[in-house]
Structure 1
Amino acid sequence: MTILVVGASGATGQQLVSHLLKEGQYVKAVVRSSEKLPESLRNQNRLSIIEASILELNDAELAGHVRGCDAIASCLGHNLTFKGIYGKPRRLVTDAAHRLCAAIKANKPQKPVKYVLMNSSGCSNRDLNEPIPLGQKVVIALLRLVLPPHVDNEKAADFLRINIGRDNPMIAWTAVRPDGLINEQEVSAYEVYPSPIRSAIFDAGKVSRINVAHFMAALIVNDGLWQKWKGKMPVIYSAPAR
């Protein structure tokens, strides 16, 4: 398989690229600078590095990079700085989803291309009418007013749910919702649920970035797992230590 990874230089994106390469897949990594990738990754012969800003590529360039890919994985996110949170592009994740899905359609693939979106447990899956405590609803409403990245994540997931849908002949998708992200060196046991089992605001769990990347890679290469979560928004937590 050939997988295009956007946001490949981020903490989770690097882990995802590494997992896919270990699985023997071919990876196209979109990064602003190849220097942001570890040398151990840059030297892999199954890795192609595309130095670009995903939203600055024109339609033809983007379609060219997407052509021949079996899957696209988005690990895009906003830097946790004032400029990253409040500066442009405010709809990085959403606009990238729109443009990448348009590029897929422009290529008219013979079978659906997988689109795996890294999202957030703070975004609800409105297809399931997930119960949300009143206090969390209030906080989420405030986050929509003061934190553009949260709105971006919500709109990206809604685009896949509503505009792409579950029966699109060219695109199939999954939006992975990690809870509180932490850094770990090794993959550990983790648990995946259709909906949050705890409050993302008042009782957040934890999951390592390497576990999120492992799950995203497994979705791409394991067809049985993909069929289980296709068109859904699984929530992932690291399993509690026993």
Structure 2
Amino acid sequence: MTILVVGASGATGSKLVEQLLMLNHRVKIIVRSPEKLPDACKTNDNLQIITASVLDLTDDEIREIVKDCDAVASCLGHNLSWKGIYGQPRKLVTDATRRLCDAIKYNKPQRAVKFVLMNTTGNRNRDLDEPISFAQKCVIGLLRLLLPPHVDNEKAADYLRIEIGQDNPYVEWTAVRPDGLINEEVVTDYKIYPSPTRSAIFNAGKVSRINVAHFMARLIHDADLWAKWKGQMPVIYSAAAH
């Protein structure tokens, strides 16, 4: 398979690239700073590095990049700095998701392309009845007002849920929702649920970035796992931290 990864130089995205290469897939990445990538990845013959910002590419360039891709994965996020949180582009994740999906639809692939979005447990799946407390609703309301990246995550998932939907002939999707992200060096046991089993605000769990990357790679690689979770927003917790 050929897979495009955006956000590949980030803490989770770089691990996703490693996991996909370990599975012997061909991987394309769009990165502004390829020097941040692990040396082992940069010298892998199955890796194609496109040095650019995804939102700076033209529509024709994006269409050409995704033309031969069987899957697209987004680990895009906002840097935890004043500029990253409050500067432009405020809709980085949403706009990238929309433009990549538009390019896939324009190309009219014979087989639907898998789109895997890294999202957050702070975002409810509105296709399901996911109850949250009044206090958590208040906190999330404040986050929407104060933290543009939270709104960006919500809108990116909503684009997939509403505009791509469940029956698009060209794009199938899954939005993976990790809880509190931590750093680990190796893959450990983790658990997947359709919805959060604890409060993302008041009783958050933990999951390692490498476990998130492993699950995203397996979704792309394993047809049965994809069939189980496509069109959904699975939540992932590391077993030891859950």
What TM-score does the superposition give when structure 2 sets the normalisation length? 0.99
Residue 9 of structure 2 is matched in structure 1 by 9
Runs of 4+ displaced beyond 4 Å = none
Q: How does 1:85-100 map to 2 (within 5 A)?
A: 85-100=85-100
Residue 152 of structure 2 is matched in structure 1 by 152
Q: Partners of 1:200 and 1:110 in 2: how far apart?
A: 39
Q: How does 1:12-91 map to 2 (within 5 A)?
A: 12-91=12-91
Q: Partners of 2:196 and 2:23 in 1: how far apart?
A: 29
The alpha carbon displacement at 1:39 in A equals: 1.1
Give the unaligned 5+ runs of structure 2: none
Distance verdict in 2 for CA 1:11–1:142, change over 3 Å: same
Q: Partners of 1:40 and 1:25 in 2: how far apart?
A: 15
Number of matched pairs: 242
Q: Partners of 1:200 and 1:23 in 2: how far apart?
A: 32
Single out whichever of 31-40 and 20-29 deviates more from structure 2: 31-40
One-letter code aligned to 1:207: V
One-letter code aligned to 1:186: V
Which secondary structure does the structure 2 equivalent of 1:102 belong to?
helix
Which secondary structure does the structure 1 equivalent of 2:200 belong to?
coil
Residue 179 of structure 1 is matched in structure 2 by 179
Matched, 1:111 2:111: yes
Matched, 1:236 2:236: yes
Q: How does 1:134-213 map to 2 (within 5 A)?
A: 134-213=134-213
Q: Partners of 1:95 and 1:129 in 2: how far apart?
A: 27
Q: Partners of 1:33 and 1:125 in 2: how far apart?
A: 33
Q: Partners of 1:14 and 1:57 in 2: how far apart?
A: 21
* Cα deviations by residue, 1:134-163 (Å, 9 ceiling, x for unpaired): 110000000000000000000000000000
Q: Is the contact between residue 206 and residue 241 of structure 2 (CA under 8 Å) also seen in structure 1?
A: no
Q: Partners of 2:183 and 2:192 in 1: how far apart?
A: 18
Q: Partners of 1:237 and 1:199 in 2: how far apart?
A: 12
The alpha carbon displacement at 1:241 in A equals: 6.4
Q: Partners of 1:62 and 1:116 in 2: how far apart?
A: 17
One-letter code aligned to 1:120: T
Give the unaligned 5+ runs of structure 1: none
Q: Partners of 1:241 and 1:217 in 2: how far apart?
A: 21
Distance verdict in 2 for CA 1:57–1:241, change over 3 Å: closer
Q: Partners of 1:52 and 1:62 in 2: how far apart?
A: 11
What TM-score does the superposition give when structure 1 sets the normalisation length? 0.99
Q: Partners of 1:136 and 1:230 in 2: how far apart?
A: 27
One-letter code aligned to 1:237: Y
One-letter code aligned to 1:119: N
The alpha carbon displacement at 1:40 in A equals: 1.1
Q: Partners of 1:106 and 1:240 in 2: how far apart?
A: 43
